[in-house]
Amino acid sequence: MSDEPKPYSAELTFKPGASLKIKGTFVLKDANGNIIPTGEYIKLCRCGKSKTQPFCDNSHRTE
């Protein structure tokens, strides 16, 4: 049945050296536990260099 619920509520994909892409239903919280409003698709920094933490700003491309 195509309308069966998926066994997960968020899909994550990543490429080595690039961001973590998250799509689905989720709540994002900062280090203080405050909710950061987002849409249903975000890209989180994985390289540690982003100026817009926790989001990716493509800093990983500028080595």
Partner 1 sequence: MDKNDREYTNGEITVFWHPKKCIHATTCYTQLNEVFNPRKRPWVNMTGAPSQRIIEIVNKCPTDALTYKWNKDIGADAEVTKKDLVLDPVKPVEIQIMKDGPIVITGKIKLTDNNGKEYKTYSITSFCRCGASSNMPFCDGTHRKIGFQG
Which residues partner with 55 through β-bridges? Answer: 44
Residues 10-39 that bind partner 1 (CB under 8 A): 10-16, 20, 22, 24-31, 33
Question: Minimum distance from CB of 13 to partner 1 (Å)?
Answer: 5
Q: Which residues in 37-53 are b (16+ Cβ under 10 Å) and which e?
A: eeeeebbbbbeeebeee
Binding status of residue 41 toward partner 1 by CB under 8 A: no
Tokens read off for 20 = 């973590």
Instruction: Give the residues lining the site for partner 1 (CB under 8 A).
Output: 5-16, 20, 22, 24-31, 33, 44-50, 53-54, 60
